[in-house]
Amino acid sequence: MSAYTDRIAEAADALRARGVDGADVAIVLGSGLGAFAETLPGGVRVPYGEIPHWPAAKVIGHAGVLASGLVGGRRVIALSGRAHFYEGHPLTDVTFAMRVLGALGVPRVILTNAAGGINTRFATGALMLIDDHLNFLGSNPLIGPSDPALGARFPDMTEIYSRRLRALATEVAAVQGIPIEHGIYVAVHGPSYETPAEIRAFRVLGADAVGMSTAPEAIVARQMGLEVLGISCISNPAAGVVDAPLNHEDVMAVTTRVRGQFIQLLEGIVGRL
């Protein structure tokens, strides 16, 4: 066992000791979407600071709590808040939560985020299923010594976002009457927002939405064989799409405005897993 796998095992053991022992699905809640974790009945709440080696989530809009409970008869672990690359965490820390979920035997994860809309057809507040991503972090969470306990050295990523879960989410959205977009998510470093020239370049490359998270978590989850679903809340038109400056407060305001619909969609998906 490496020191990294020791840390993962210690965190998983600590969670088991608190009664969090596996789940049917884990959900990572992006900026402003933490409300989902507050609605989970019949479970426990563990602040990140009480889980050994777990990186703190310090961004406004991220509570930093792991909550477990039942949703539609399914056991759910909700992570309210995530570590970001732009905070200075190495990608092994950014994806530590995924590793612990894997160690707990969680078979699938729903990654949510707030993202800027590059596709000019996207309305602010729209929800987008992530069909695939472009990793523009300039790094990869799997860099480092290869540990077979964690997964393959060269894991396949051809279907990083599960086709089955995307179809299920599309169906649930249709039944609920929630409009849903599909698209490609480009992950960037941040923390500065992009320039209009960068957004034009990403559009040429095929990106529909831009954000500062999710891709590393998806890569790691997939390496471990978890099914991954990604959903972006289009919280703002990306830089230069409209003639207005970007700020985190507006991002938060939009995600807060649509969170009722977002939670309804998540509950619908979880209930049909």
Q: Which residues are catalytic?
A: 31, 62, 84, 86-87, 114, 212-213, 236, 248
Please identify which residue in the block is written with the tokens 């602010």.
124
Q: Figure out which of the listed residues 169, 215, 226, 251 binds ligand HPA, where binding follows CB under 6 A.
A: 251
Q: Which is nearer to ligand HPA, 59 or 70 (CB)?
A: 59
213 versus 223: smaller Cβ distance to ligand HPA: 213
Token code pair at residue 160: 């990083």
Residues 156-195 that bind ligand HPA (CB under 6 A): 193-194
Q: Residue 135, interface with ligand HPA (CB under 6 A)?
A: no
CB of 199 to ligand HPA, least distance (A): 8
- Contact flag: residue 238 with ligand HPA (CB under 6 A): yes
The Cα 43–Cα 272 span in angstroms is: 20
Pick the closer one to ligand HPA by CB: 34 or 69. 34
Q: For ligand HPA, which is the closer residue by CB, 4 or 202?
A: 202
Select from 44, 66, 45, 70 the least CA-distant residue to 55.
66
Helices (H), the chain: 3-17, 35-38, 91-94, 96-103, 163-176, 196-204, 215-223, 248-271
Q: How far lies 53's CA from each of 57, 91, 100, 237, in Å?
A: 13, 14, 10, 36
Contact residues toward ligand HPA (CB under 6 A) are 114-116, 193-194, 210-212, 235-236, 238, 246, 251
